[in-house]
Amino acid sequence: MDLDMKTLCDLGGIEVNTQPFILIIFGGGGDLSQKKLLPALYNLFKLDKLNNDSYILSYGRKERTQAEYRTLVKTSVEKTFKGKKVNIENSFLEKFSYFNGDSEKLEGIDNINKYICKFKGIKKYQIIFYLATPPNLAKNILKLIQNLELCDKPFKKKIVMEKPFGIDTVSAINLNDNLHKIFKEDEIYRIDHYLGKETVQNILFFRFGNSIFEPLWNRSYIDHIQITVAEDIGIGSRGSFYEKAGVLKDIIQNHMMQLIALVSMEPPTNFEADCIRDEKVKIFKNISSMSEEYMAENLVLGQYGHGKIKQEDVAGYRDEKNVSKDSNMGTFFSGKFHVDNWRWAGVPFYVRAGKRLNKKLTEIVITFKTPPLKLFGNTCRDILANELIFSIQPEEKISLSINMKYPGVENYPHPVEMNFNYSKLDTISLTAYERLIVDCIKGDLTLFARQDGIEEMWKVIDPIVKYFNKINFKFPNYPAGSWGPVESRHLLEKDNRKWRI
Ligand code: BG6
C-alpha cells in the first residue's frame, strides 16, 4: 500500500541567504573532502545555491600547484557521477585556490592573510573555516586561525568542525575552550552529517506531526527499538584515522547517539535550534550508565576478518593499509542501551554498527507490543508485532507493518506494509552535506550539535571504550560479509527477540 503525497505545496525551492562567502577548508585534499564536501559544493553550484561571489581556499599539508588541486576537485566530483560523462564547468573550478603548509608549524598564515586581503569590500563576505581534519589536528589549526590577521576587518566568521569532536570528554572540553577563544557558540557548526539526511529529519516531523503515533510512543506500547548502521565497505584508505577511532568513536559516539535522541526525545517547545538541542541533551544524560558486569553481558565488540562482499574476496581489517597486524580496534559494535526516564523505563534500545557487514543498511525499527489476546482461534501463524521502520539507507523510506485478515474462510492473520518512499516524490532533495552547507551559509544551527550535547555523548562512550581497552580480544571475530560476531545475535535471542535483518 502506498501513501502518496497528494499535494506538495510549492515551497519555492531551497532558499539560501545569498551573502557572498569565502570558505577556507583545512584538509581540502583529504578523504572526506574528496568524497563528500567537494561533490556537495559542486551540486549546490549546479542548483544555483552558491552565490556567484563565493570562493574556496583549500589548505593542506601536501605540496600541490593550483592546477593540480583543481584537477583533484574535478576528479573528486566526476567520481560521484560513476562513469557518466560530466563536464565540470571552469567557472566552478576557478573558485578554488590551494595553499600548502604544516599547521603544527603555523605555516601559511601569510598566504591566507594575503589571499583574504585581496578581496575588495571584504566586509560583505562571511568567512567560513571548515575543519575536514582528524581531531588531533584541531588544536594547531585553531591556533593558526587565531593568528590570522584577516586584514583586521570586522566580518562575519563561522567555523565548521567535523566529527569526532575530540577523542573523549576531556579533550572535547579542551577543544571547546580553545574554540571559544576565537568563536562564539553561535558561530560554531559541529557537523554530524546524519542530521542532514532527509529521513533523519523526518523522525521528528513524523513523531510530532501525526497525533496518531505520539500517544503510543512510550513504554506502554513499544516493546523495543532497534537501530542499525551497517556498511559493507571497509576502512579504505583511512587506516591511520580508524586505528585511533574505531567504530565507537567513528559512529556510536555521534551518529548513533543522535539517532537514539531523535527517536526518544520529548517534544521541543518549538522547532528552534536550542529547543531541539535542549531535549536531545536530556536524553544523552538519561542513557543509563553501565557496570562492568552489565557491559560484559550486553555489549559486543567485533573486528572483521577476510571474507566476501558481493562475491568478491576482501581483506580482513588487520591486513588493511596503515593498520597494525595485531590491532585490537573494533570495527563492529552492538549493545543494549536504556534511556532512564518515565517514557522509556524498561524499553531496550538495541544498537549495532559496523564495517564490512552483509550490506549497507541504516534503519530504525520501532517494534510495538503484540495484542494481549489471541482472538482469532486456530490461526496458522501468530500475529506479528507491528513495526514502524525508518529506513535511512539504502532507500529513504518509512514503512509500517500491520496485520490484515488473509482472504478466505479461515482467520489467518497476514502482515502487510504501508510505505512512503522519498524517491517517489518529484522534488529536489539535497544530500546531507549539501543541506548542512546551505544551513551553515544561512546561519541555521538546528542540525548541528551543541557543546553540552557533545560532552554528554562522550560521557556515555568513555566508560565503554575504557572497558573494552582492558580486554584482550581474539580478533578477527566475524568474517567480512556477515552480520557481525555471533554474540550480537545472541544479545537479542537472550531476550527472545531477533534483529529484523
Ligand atoms: C562517517 C564515518 O561519519 O560516516 C565513516 O566516519 C562512515 O566511517 C560514514 O563510512 C557513513 O556515512 P553514510 O552517510 O554513508 O552512512
List of the chain residues with pLDDT < 70 = 1-18, 151-154, 377-381
The torsion defined by the Cα of 370, 374, 380 and 382, in degrees rounded to 10, comes to: 10
- Cα angle at 197 between 192 and 200, to 5 degrees? 95
Ligand 1: which residue has its CA nearest to atom 9?
A: 251
Residue 419 DSSP SS3: strand
> Which ligand 1 atom is at minimum distance from the Cα of 254?
3
C-beta of 192 in contact with ligand 1 (< 6 A): no
C-beta of 363 in contact with ligand 1 (< 6 A): no
Alpha-carbon distance of 397 to 423, in angstroms, equals 8
C-beta of 231 in contact with ligand 1 (< 6 A): yes
C-beta of 250 in contact with ligand 1 (< 6 A): yes
Pocket mutation for ligand 1, best pick of 36, 37, 161, 193 (most atoms within 8 Å of C-beta): 193
Contact 79, 87 (CB under 8 A): no
Cα 53 to middle of ligand 1, angstroms: 31
Pocket mutation for ligand 1, best pick of 163, 255, 317 (most atoms within 8 Å of C-beta): 255
Ligand 1: which residue has its CA nearest to atom 4?
A: 251
Q: Hey, which bits of 276-331 come out as E strands?
A: 299-302, 304-305, 307-309, 312-314
Q: Where are the alpha helices (DSSP H) in 183-238?
A: 198-209
Alpha-carbon distance of 355 to 242, in angstroms, equals 11
Closest alpha carbon to 245 in 180, 162, 363, 339 = 162
Would you state the cell numbers that stand for residue 1, as one nine-digit string?
A: 500500500
> Which ligand 1 atom is at minimum distance from the Cα of 245?
6
Closest alpha carbon to 367 in 258, 197, 492, 266 = 492
Ligand 1: which residue has its CA nearest to atom 14?
A: 194
Quote the distance between the C-alpha of residue 229 and its chain's center: 10
Burial (0-12, 13-18, 19+ Cβ within 10 Å), 312:
exposed
- Note if 414 is an active site residue: no
C-beta of 362 in contact with ligand 1 (< 6 A): yes
Per-residue confidence (pLDDT) for residue 86, from 0 to 100: 83
Cα 115 to middle of ligand 1, angstroms: 33
Per-residue confidence (pLDDT) for residue 18, from 0 to 100: 63
> Which ligand 1 atom is at minimum distance from the Cα of 392?
16
Question: Residue 279: CA atoms inside 13 Å, Cβ hemisphere, count?
Answer: 18
Q: Say which CATH architecture domain 195-431+451-493 belongs to.
A: 2-Layer Sandwich (3.30)
Ligand 1: which residue has its CA nearest to atom 11?
A: 231
Ligand 1: which residue has its CA nearest to atom 2?
A: 250
Q: Hey, which bits of 194-311 come out as E strands?
A: 222-230, 299-302, 304-305, 307-309
Per-residue confidence (pLDDT) for residue 422, from 0 to 100: 82
Ligand 1: which residue has its CA nearest to atom 15?
A: 231
Closest alpha carbon to 160 in 13, 15, 28, 274 = 28
Per-residue confidence (pLDDT) for residue 6, from 0 to 100: 45
Contact 194, 259 (CB under 8 A): yes
* Pairing mode, strands 126-131 and 413-421: unpaired
Question: Under CATH, to which class is 21-162 assigned?
Answer: alpha beta
Per-residue confidence (pLDDT) for residue 55, from 0 to 100: 95
Alpha-carbon distance of 164 to 10, in angstroms, equals 37
Domain extent listing, the chain: 21-162, 195-431+451-493
Quote the distance between the C-alpha of residue 118 and its chain's center: 37
C-beta of 162 in contact with ligand 1 (< 6 A): no
Pocket mutation for ligand 1, best pick of 233, 243, 250 (most atoms within 8 Å of C-beta): 250
> Which ligand 1 atom is at minimum distance from the Cα of 242?
8
Cα 355 to middle of ligand 1, angstroms: 10
Cα 429 to middle of ligand 1, angstroms: 19
Cα 233 to middle of ligand 1, angstroms: 10
Contact 443, 27 (CB under 8 A): no
Q: Which of 193, 255, 306, 490 is catalytic?
A: 255
Cα 32 to middle of ligand 1, angstroms: 10
C-beta of 387 in contact with ligand 1 (< 6 A): no
Amino acid at 396: E
Pocket mutation for ligand 1, best pick of 231, 253, 362, 393 (most atoms within 8 Å of C-beta): 231
